Amino acid sequence: MHSSCSDGALAPSDVMARAAYHGATVVALTDHDQLAGLDEARAAAQALGMRFVNGVEISVTWRAITLHIVGLNFDTQSPELVNGLQVMAQGRAQRAQKIADQLAQAGVEGMFEAALVHAGGRVDLLSRTHFARELVARKKATSVRSVFQDYLVAGKPGYVSHEWCSLAQAVGWITGAGGVAVFAHPGRCIHAHEGDELELLHEFVALGGRAIEVVTGSHSKNQYKKYTQIAQDFGLFASRGSDFHSSNESKMEAGKVPELPHGLIGVESLFG
Ligand SMILES: [Zn+2]
């Protein structure tokens, strides 16, 4: 789940309250490249009787493809992880400026400042979602999800190719901090290149990756089947995530996620 400490709409404690309301018992906050919401979320989750797992979702560039690697159950004080995320935050701010410049060239002016308001004034958090919310506010699109058909994606205004960290860095930071690296929503990353996907999975496992997200709002029922098989073939633990950002932007509600398919072992069993 995501909070206003990255591109979610709700404060960490509000996200936890929603998850508890929907019956969640084990939860993780996985803000993009950010640990800032974990303390608040942990306190709220524990007060609500849920088991809280530290989380983060790290953006990775692998062969010009953007992937998301989720880290779970790590030490939030790990210097390598903290420093790595800090460098990424600087890159995020620079990317936001380029996105705004591109949009200005397409006639949509003043987007840096406007998106910054949606990000609570935090330059280091600025994501495409914040730009998307402003584009909806300006009636350039009807919903945040439909923004990504006409803006901010390859070939459309506001698209910027960006170099995130490497797969080795992301997995290394997470495992170095004692955490578990999870390949998040694989079906959203590389639908077109099956050969690449197998090579990526082998590389992820060789680097120390131990789990794969099988159940997520980004996956179809067929993809549940496909990634169940892949988890079994590669000996990976499985995770499920709502990818909750806000009630009107997310396909799944916080804490309301279908069970894992049979034959899989949930990643939480690694946490003792
Ligand atoms: Zn993601």
Where do the domains of the chain lie?
12-271
Q: What separation in Å is there between the alpha carbon of 49 and the centre of ligand 1?
A: 26
Q: What separation in Å is there between the alpha carbon of 187 and the centre of ligand 1?
A: 11
> Within 10 A of 148 (CB to CB), how many other CB atoms are there?
16
- List, for residues 148-179, the tens digit of each pLDDT value: 999 999 899 999 988 999 999 999 999 999 99
C-alpha–C-alpha distance, residues 64 and 81, integer Å: 23
C-alpha–C-alpha distance, residues 170 and 81, integer Å: 8
Q: Is the pLDDT of residue 195 over 80?
A: no
- List, for residues 109-123, the tens digit of each pLDDT value: 999 999 999 988 988
| Predicted local confidence at residue 249, as pLDDT | 75
Q: Is 83 in contact with 198 (CB distance < 8 Å)?
A: no
Location of structure tokens 């404690």: 13
C-alpha–C-alpha distance, residues 81 and 71, integer Å: 10
Using a pLDDT cut of 90, give the percent of the chain over it. 78
Q: What separation in Å is there between the alpha carbon of 120 and the centre of ligand 1?
A: 21
- List, for residues 203-255, the tens digit of each pLDDT value: 999 999 999 999 998 899 999 999 999 999 999 999 999 888 887 777 888 88
Please, what is the average pLDDT of the chain? 93
Structural class in CATH, domain 12-271: alpha beta
| Predicted local confidence at residue 192, as pLDDT | 56
Q: Which residue has the higher pLDDT, 106 or 247?
A: 106
Please tell me the pTM assigned to this model.
0.89
